[in-house]
């Protein structure tokens, strides 16, 4: 019997790799693999979803999920701050930027996404570096540079009205800066929200003291040695001591391209997450499955579990069939949820909307017969967990679909207990209540026991509410 361990090389050390390592270890992968990680950033893995906390002044270690000591303690080799140039798929070698070669038997590309950076006039210096005061919002290092530069009373322009841009805007505004968000589309978060939802979100954002310019783009960066303003496409100028670029992302496929792997928008994989090149797989934001790429974390985590099953033999028949996309987040302090189709596709699709003008809240669902095909909520996401359950499982809507927008109106006690509270990790209320009954008496303990709250963190308020309802009073510690 051959007991030689195979070499498993994972390129990238982001959230997809972090979860893949957990799934591999749970299945005893270190008995059959020597694992090497190649990460372009210094240090261990961190939760990119929580970068705004670092921008706001938190210790960077607060969002680190796997410090370097974690890898060493488990016999995993981490090459941090090391860029990979390509895979030599014939010789089965990982070639790094300094020309070093590392052997592999199985390779996984988890290179994630890279930011879209528009070619703005005046954005770079003569040597091609970003002009002082121009920042890309993507990495831990980016956040540390931004917070070192930002000063109360300064003017900041954030280019991009998606999730990252709005997060950056809120943190900078809370720090005493005058902030303007410039967004090319007519409404904010147009990828997740319809026009009315985007308008409702804009009102909420502006109520927090942030100015918004939709339907506009930045044409040029002004200033001699450093940024002192920007010119918009309508020739108006805005004073700016800093410009933050948060214009979206695209799959990071350069390593795959240099390695001769099939690429469309992302690295093309099949239902086992394998590329057509033997021994090479891809997961996360860089992977394209069924003609689709995903820019959120939950599909990456689903893929990690499938790939760990396949690579360890825990379930060789495991297959990835695609993910139903839903997001539930706090955007600049405002609760937002979106899932499936945000607009009807068929003439027979039914749309139900609830607009609470005074409260600044908006709820909408799209139904096809009694099947939920999409929903969105802005400002009032109390129905989100129930809607996610209906959407994810394909359960039938109530006879009156409006009831689905009213929490608790249509679901009985047993169904409610089985609802998903943590969308990122698909943790049900029943699982959380079981953890509470087994002694988890704080939000932190619930997170540790179930993984709930360890993704985007938007469900932590619900975790505290469950503790208040179900934990013994003598043991209850609501604060995390």
Mean pLDDT of the region 58-76: 95
How does DSSP assign 368-424, residue by residue? ETTEEEEEEEES--TTHHHHHHHHHHTPBPPSSGGGGGSTTSS--HHHHHTSEEETT
Q: Judge whether 108 lies within some domain.
A: yes
Claim to verify: residue 237 and residue 283 sit in the same structural domain: no
Q: How much is the pLDDT for 462?
A: 76
Mean pLDDT of the region 188-200: 92
Whether the Cβ atoms of residue 46 and residue 14 lie closer than 8 Å to each other: no
432 or 50, which is more confident = 50
Sign of the dihedral through C-alpha 169, 452, 112, 38: positive
Q: How much is the pLDDT for 478?
A: 46
Q: Provide the token pair at 301.
A: 């985590």
Dump strand ranges (E) for 309-370. Answer: 326-331, 334-340, 350-356, 361-368
Nearest to 103 by CA among 91, 86, 115: 91
Q: Judge whether 181 lies within some domain.
A: yes
Q: Which of 288, 312, 336 is the last residue of a domain?
A: 312
Q: Judge whether 477 lies within some domain.
A: no
SS3 (DSSP) at 10: strand
pLDDT band of 329, cuts 50, 70, 90: confident
Whether the Cβ atoms of residue 340 and residue 388 lie closer than 8 Å to each other: no
Q: How far apart are the first and last CA of the chain?
A: 50
Q: Judge whether 211 lies within some domain.
A: yes
Mean pLDDT of the region 135-153: 96
Q: How much is the pLDDT for 408?
A: 56
Least confident of 281-285, 304-308, 336-340: 336-340
Length of the chain: 480
Mean pLDDT over each residue of the chain, to the nearest integer: 90
- Most confident segment among 114-123, 378-387, 401-410: 114-123
Claim to verify: residue 398 and residue 343 sit in the same structural domain: yes
Q: Which of 269, 285, 312 is the last residue of a domain?
A: 312
d(CA 369, CA 205): 35
The pLDDT tens digits for 421-438 are 776 777 877 788 877 877
Percent of the chain with pLDDT over 90: 70
Rounded alpha-carbon distances, angstroms, from residue 75 to 24, 29, 209? 13, 11, 49
The pLDDT tens digits for 268-278 are 999 999 999 99
Q: How much is the pLDDT for 414?
A: 45
d(CA 450, CA 422): 10
Q: Which of 247, 267, 296 is the last residue of a domain?
A: 247
How many separate domains does the chain show? 3
Q: Inform me whether the pLDDT recorded for 410 exceeds 50.
A: no
CA 95 distance to own-chain centroid: 29
Q: How much is the pLDDT for 124?
A: 92
The pLDDT tens digits for 217-265 are 999 999 988 899 999 999 999 999 999 999 999 999 999 999 999 999 9
pLDDT band of 420, cuts 50, 70, 90: confident
Residue 156 per-residue DSSP state? E
Q: Print the domain residue range for 444.
A: 326-470
d(CA 272, CA 351): 37
CATH code (residue 57): 3.50.50.60
pTM assigned to the model? 0.87
417 or 426, which is more confident = 426
Whether the Cβ atoms of residue 251 and residue 293 lie closer than 8 Å to each other: yes
d(CA 458, CA 337): 10
Claim to verify: residue 305 and residue 288 sit in the same structural domain: yes
Rounded to the nearest 10 degrees, the angle between the axes of helix 297-312 and helix 15-26 is 40
Phi, psi of 203 (to 5 degrees): -60, -40
Q: Inform me whether the pLDDT recorded for 71 exceeds 50.
A: yes
Q: Judge whether 465 lies within some domain.
A: yes
d(CA 246, CA 187): 16
Q: How much is the pLDDT for 330?
A: 82
Claim to verify: residue 351 and residue 443 sit in the same structural domain: yes
Residues 6 or more apart in contact with residue 425 via CB below 8 angstroms = 301, 450, 451, 452, 454, 455
Q: Judge whether 207 lies within some domain.
A: yes
Whether the Cβ atoms of residue 13 and residue 37 lie closer than 8 Å to each other: yes
Claim to verify: residue 183 and residue 273 sit in the same structural domain: no
d(CA 366, CA 109): 36
Least confident of 26-30, 348-352, 367-371, 424-428: 424-428
Mean pLDDT of the region 112-136: 93
Q: How much is the pLDDT for 411?
A: 45
Q: How much is the pLDDT for 418?
A: 67
Q: How much is the pLDDT for 345?
A: 92
Claim to verify: residue 227 and residue 262 sit in the same structural domain: no
Q: How much is the pLDDT for 244?
A: 97
**What is the residue whose two structure tokens read 């208040």?**
468
Q: Provide the token pair at 115.
A: 């930011």
Q: Judge whether 254 lies within some domain.
A: yes
Nearest to 381 by CA among 210, 206, 212, 201: 201
CATH code (residue 409): 3.30.390.30
Q: Inform me whether the pLDDT recorded for 415 exceeds 50.
A: no
Q: Judge whether 127 lies within some domain.
A: no
Q: How much is the pLDDT for 476?
A: 47
Least confident of 259-263, 347-351, 359-363, 424-428: 424-428
Percent of the chain with pLDDT over 70: 94
Claim to verify: residue 400 and residue 381 sit in the same structural domain: yes
d(CA 464, CA 228): 45
Claim to verify: residue 143 and residue 242 sit in the same structural domain: yes
Claim to verify: residue 102 and residue 167 sit in the same structural domain: no
Claim to verify: residue 419 and residue 333 sit in the same structural domain: yes
Claim to verify: residue 109 and residue 255 sit in the same structural domain: yes
Claim to verify: residue 301 and residue 437 sit in the same structural domain: no
């Amino acid at each position: 019997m051959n007991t030689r361990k195979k070499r498993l090389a994972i390129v990238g050390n982001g959230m997809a790799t972090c979860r893949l390592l957990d799934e591999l270890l749970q299945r005893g992968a270190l008995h059959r693999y020597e694992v090497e990680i190649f990460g372009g950033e210094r240090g261990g893995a961190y939760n990119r979803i929580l970068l705004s906390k670092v921008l706001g002044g938190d210790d960077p270690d607060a969002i680190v999920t796997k410090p370097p000591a974690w890898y060493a303690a488990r016999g995993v080799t981490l090459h941090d701050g090391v860029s990979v140039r390509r895979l030599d798929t014939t010789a089965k070698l990982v070639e790094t930027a300094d020309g070093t070669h590392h052997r592999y038997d199985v390779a996984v590309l988890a290179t994630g996404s890279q930011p879209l950076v528009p070619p703005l006039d005046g954005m770079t210096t003569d040597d091609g570096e970003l002009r002082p005061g121009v920042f890309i919002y993507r990495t831990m290092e980016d956040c540390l540079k931004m917070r070192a530069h930002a000063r109360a009373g300064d003017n900041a322009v954030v280019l991009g009205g998606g999730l990252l841009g709005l997060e950056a805007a809120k943190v900078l505004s809370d720090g005493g800066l005058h902030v303007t968000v410039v967004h090319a589309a007519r409404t904010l978060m147009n990828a997740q929200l319809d026009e009315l939802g985007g308008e409702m979100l804009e009102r909420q954002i502006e109520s927090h003291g942030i100015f918004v310019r939709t339907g506009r783009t930045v044409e040029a960066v002004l200033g001699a040695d450093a940024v002192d303003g920007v010119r918009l496409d309508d020739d108006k100028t805005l004073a700016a001591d800093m410009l933050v670029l948060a214009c979206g992302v695209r799959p990071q496929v350069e390593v795959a391209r240099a390695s001769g792997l099939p690429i469309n928008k992302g690295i093309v994989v099949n239902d086992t997450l394998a590329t057509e090149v033997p021994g090479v797989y891809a997961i996360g934001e860089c992977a394209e499955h069924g003609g689709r790429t995903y820019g959120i974390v939950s599909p990456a985590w689903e893929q990690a579990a499938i790939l760990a099953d396949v690579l360890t033999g825990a379930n060789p028949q495991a297959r990835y069939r695609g993910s139903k996309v839903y997001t539930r987040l706090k955007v600049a302090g405002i609760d937002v949820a979106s899932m499936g189709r945000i607009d009807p596709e068929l003439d027979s699709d039914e749309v139900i909307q609830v607009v609470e003008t005074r409260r600044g809240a908006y709820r909408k669902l799209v139904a096809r017969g009694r099947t939920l095909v999409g929903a969105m909520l802005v400002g009032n996401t109390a129905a989100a967990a129930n809607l996610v359950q209906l959407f994810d499982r394909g359960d039938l809507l109530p006879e009156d679909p409006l009831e689905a927008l009213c929490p608790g109106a249509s679901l009985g006690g047993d169904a409610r207990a089985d609802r998903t509270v943590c969308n990122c990790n698909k943790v049900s209320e029943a699982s959380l209540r079981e953890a509470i009954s087994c002694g988890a008496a704080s939000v932190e303990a619930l997170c540790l026991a179930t993984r709930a709250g360890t993704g985007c963190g938007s469900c932590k308020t619900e975790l505290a509410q469950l503790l208040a309802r179900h934990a013994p009073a003598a043991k209850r510690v609501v604060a995390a």
